[in-house]
């Protein structure tokens, strides 16, 4: 049962990350490349 739950969590996480990657260019177009780059580097540093 635990393996099925863990697999389900990974599927949901993968779907969420994939949707975010598809939406990122659309969101970045409004603020510009340099601001987006600074935000991505800042978020990467927090990880």
Give pLDDT tens digits for 19-30: 877 778 887 888
* Rounded CA separation 35/45 (Å): 15
The structure's pTM equals 0.48
> Distance between terminal CA atoms of the chain?
30
The larger pLDDT score, comparing residue 6 to residue 19, is at 6
């Amino acid at each position: 049962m635990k393996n099925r739950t863990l697999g389900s969590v990974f599927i949901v996480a993968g779907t969420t990350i994939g949707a975010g990657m598809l939406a990122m260019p659309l969101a970045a177009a409004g603020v510009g490349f340099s601001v987006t780059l600074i935000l991505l580097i800042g978020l990467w540093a927090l990880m």
